[in-house]
A and B are shown apart, each in its own frame.
Chain A
């Protein structure tokens, strides 16, 4: 399974390195989203700083949707999903490989968005350990659930609109938990951030384990 995951992740990341869809489209889009949030709250700088963690994770969620759609559009374009099914690759490995590739792109994006939040929203970074651990777990949640739902919606004509509709409610608790953990790390709330981190770890375990177990059936339905 892990070997197959590496093969699939390597293939997806190589495609992304060639196509540069993330660099040329997803990154600028996410920065524009941050900028628009900044315009919307510009008159109220304290409110903007309070809302910065939530705005950051909303931008990551939007970018995650695009990354997942891209991950499955390359499989649909020339019937490559049949090739994956015929290849003998372990479906759990295919799931983990695609999720790892999406996660790797999101982590790079989050690093850029963090710079954006600091520059645009004048956020003072603190609690680096909690910030980083939250980012890792929340990214695993977005990539895991996104990959599972991406496969679910892949065979459907309305997949571009269906995927956000299916995925947003599933990831709502993830955005909430990540936002609260970041607020705690940045000293914007008095709650314990590590509590939210535990919740994120549980969500990540559920989404990744569920996706790995169920991906074979999802591939057969596409």
Chain B
């Protein structure tokens, strides 16, 4: 079976700045990987590459069997991305936001209530315009949009941001459930994670590259972690069980 994600020597630019500088990553189907790293390490850029939103200028990428640069429109419906921003329409209610995500994905309306219920948004909250919800509630609406779409690959950028303790636990249980159902998850966070997630495979990023295991310092002037050779295109990236 093809891996969910295979990145080799991935280089991506934002403007003229290399936000990924030879990143390698493998992710199996149903696997959860936690991306760690300082601000600007390249976590968000890596997620955007995997979503087909940021093209590679060098290296190779395969996501769910598709090249995200060449076939983004075939890949994207299979991928759910939760970025720093929630992607909600302030004037639409929580229910209408989820309904739009469901209709856009050509799914039946039955998925809406289930997703709202899973995130604790059924009832009065579902009818409140998203612009009047708290930051945590907005995050939950955005997560409900993903739940309703049931993507095969979840790309989550600081998903716990704004959530209280109760809903952090709810999210952690949801992610366990999603991974148990066979979806793959890449979760970027620099917050302290609960034991269930902290025990998952952790990948550190620094200077736009991926370092498996503990973080390594960036070698001055190279953009790469000190002591970590850049893996040439086509070679196997190191894996940590």
Contacts and interface: CB of A to CB of B under 8 A. Distances in A.
A86 interface: yes
A88 B89 contact: no
Contacts of A167: none
Interface stretch (B32-40, B75-83, B164-172, B205-213): B75-83
A14 B97 CA distance: 11
A157 interface: no
B105 A78 contact: no
Contacts of A86: 51, 53, 76-77, 79-81
B90 A85 contact: no
Contacts of A19: 91
Contacts of B101: 83, 87
Among B77, B92, B100, find the residue whose CB has the most chain A CB atoms closer than 10 A: B100
A15 interface: yes
Contacts, number: 67
Nearest to A75: B89
B120 to A, nearest CB: 21
A15 B87 contact: no
Interface residues of A, number: 22
Contacts of A220: 72
Contacts of A18: 91-92, 129
B200 interface: no
Contact of B92 (A4, A7, A11, A88): A11
Nearest to A12: B89
Nearest to A77: B90
B16 interface: no
Contacts of B96: 14
B104 A14 contact: no
B220 to A, nearest CB: 33
A78 B103 contact: no
B62 interface: no
| Chief secondary structure at chain A's binding surface | helix
A11 B76 contact: no
A80 interface: yes
Contacts of B100: 7, 11
B124 interface: no
B88 A80 contact: yes
A76 to B, nearest CB: 10
Given A7-B104, A14-B92, A15-B92, A80 B77 contact: no
A218 to B, nearest CB: 14
A199 B81 CA distance: 45
A18 B76 CA distance: 30
Interface string A73-111: 010011110111111110000000000000000000000
A87 B92 contact: no
Given A15-B92, A83-B101, A88 B53 contact: no
Given A7-B103, A86-B79, A87-B77, 12 more contacts: A7-B100, A14-B96, A18-B92, A78-B85, A82-B81, A82-B87, A85-B76, A86-B80, A87-B101, A87-B104, A88-B73, A220-B72
Interface of B: 51, 53, 72-73, 76-77, 79-81, 83-92, 96, 100-101, 103-106, 129, 145
30 contacts: A4-B104, A11-B92, A14-B91, A15-B89, A15-B92, A18-B91, A18-B129, A19-B91, A74-B90, A77-B90, A78-B85, A78-B86, A79-B85, A80-B88, A80-B89, A83-B101, A84-B104, A85-B53, A85-B76, A86-B51, A86-B53, A86-B77, A86-B80, A87-B76, A87-B101, A88-B73, A88-B76, A88-B77, A88-B105, A89-B104
